[in-house]
Amino acid sequence: MTETPPPTTRARSAEPARVVVKHHPLVRLTHWVNVPVLFGLIASGLAIYWAAPVFLHPRDPVTGSRDYLVDLGAAVAHVLHDRGGDPRSWIYDHVSLGTGMLARALRLHWALAYVFMLNGALYLIGLIAGGGWRALLPRLSDVADARAMLRFYLGVVPMAIRRRPWPHPVIRSKYNALQRAAYFSMSVAGVLVILSGWAMHKPIQFGWLERLFVNYDGARIVHFVCLLVLGSFVVPHVILVIADGWDTFRSMVVGWSARLKEARHE
């Protein structure tokens, strides 16, 4: 562009660095607080679920099980040749606090649930204060953009093997359509998990909320589905952050990115 004399090394270190402002401090704080809190809520929640599973089938004459999670646990233990414990409680022993500790799990769950709600409120404040909420709103163009992103993700590995160029689709907003859909649905799942949690916890006081989920078991099912949605977000989220690189990870710690517009996916 413009002809400027190359700066000396000394001047270069004194010259300011240009960064892109990414995440509000409250968004970063609540993001990291969410990691252990969600783990704890899932672990204690499944330990509560163990006491009275909502997804039941008629008693199996062989295993004596009525709980689909018991069946799944037994299958996993069988595949892994895990003989360490009771195969029927494999899921509860590995994904939850364990079996037979309802009182403890309930106390942990309430304590963490209040932290989660407070954290969610701080997140929303951070989203509004930093203006980040606009980047999370779904748009009409997202359908086509999401298809392009899916096509890109599916092609990354085959094209790398065939050594063919495989450019990233042009993204001109903070997030691509798939990210936006994921982050937006996380907020929705977060709100739903809190509402269905209150509907089960205080079904008389919040009778209107219980009716919103049809009945008591409706709230339990929604709560469980939210667990699956929130949990299944984590794996691709972590993989994609690792794939995207250090700058993306760092931006959630420090709040800025060194990737200027021209250096990014265009």
Partner 1 sequence: MSERDPDEERAENEGMPPPRDAVNATGGGVPPARDDMPPTPGAMPSSGDATLRPEEGTSAEPPPPPPAPRPGFLAERPEVERDVPRRALAAATRRDFLLLAGGVLATAAGAWWLLPDATRARLVGMSGRDHLDSLAARVGLSRARRERTLDRALTFDDDVAEALTSPDRRVRTYARSEVTPLRNNFHGQTPGPEILAGWSLTLSGLASRRVERLPLATLLARFPLHGQVTRLVCVEGWSAVAWWGGLRFADLLAAFPPAPSARWAALRSVVSLDAYGRPEPYYVSIDLKTARHPQTLLATHHDGRPLTLAHGAPLRLVAPMKLGLKNIKALTDIAYSADEPADYWNERGYSKYDGL
Residue 17 contacts partner 1 per CB under 8 A: yes
In the window 30-49, what residues touch partner 1 (CB under 8 A)?
Answer: 32-33, 36, 40, 48-49
Told to check if 265 binds partner 1 by CB under 8 A, we report no
User: Do residues 24 and 130 touch, judged by C-beta distance below 8 A?
Assistant: yes
Q: Which stretch binds partner 1 (CB under 8 A): 69-77, 134-142, 147-155, 227-235?
A: 134-142
CB of 207 to partner 1, least distance (A): 5
Name which of residues 175 to 214 contact partner 1 (CB under 8 A). Answer: 200, 202-205, 207, 210
| Rounded CA separation 60/93 (Å) | 21
Phi/psi of residue 56, each to 5°? Answer: -125, 150
Residue 106 vs 195, nearer CB to partner 1: 106
Using CB under 8 A as the binding rule, whether residue 245 contacts partner 1 is answered as no
- Min separation Cβ 203 and partner 1, Å: 6
DSSP 6: P
The dihedral sign for the CA sequence 64, 70, 76, 82: negative
Task: Choose, by CB under 8 A, the member of 15, 58, 61, 161 that binds partner 1.
Answer: 15
Give the residue with the Cβ less far from partner 1, 173 or 187. Answer: 173
Q: Which contacts qualify for 251-255: CB closer than 8 Å, 24 or more apart?
A: 251/22, 251/23, 252/22, 252/23, 252/28, 252/31, 252/32, 253/28, 253/32, 254/28, 255/21, 255/22, 255/23, 255/24, 255/25, 255/28
Please, which of residues 100-119 interact with partner 1 by CB under 8 A?
Answer: 101-108, 110-111, 114
Is 58:66 a contact under the CB 8 Å cutoff?
Answer: yes
**Residue count at the site for partner 1 (CB under 8 A)?**
67
Shortest gap between Cβ of 75 and partner 1 (angstroms)? 21
Q: Which of 141, 151, 242, 246 binds partner 1 (CB under 8 A)?
A: 141
Phi, psi of 8 (to 5 degrees): -70, 165
Q: Give Cα separations from 237 to 10, 55, 129 (angstroms).
A: 40, 28, 24
Q: How far apart are CA 241 and CA 179, in angstroms?
A: 11
List residues near partner 1 by CB under 8 A. 1-2, 4, 13-22, 28, 32-33, 36, 40, 48-49, 51-52, 54, 93, 97-98, 101-108, 110-111, 114, 131, 134-135, 137-141, 170, 172-174, 200, 202-205, 207, 210, 216-217, 220, 250, 253-256, 260-262
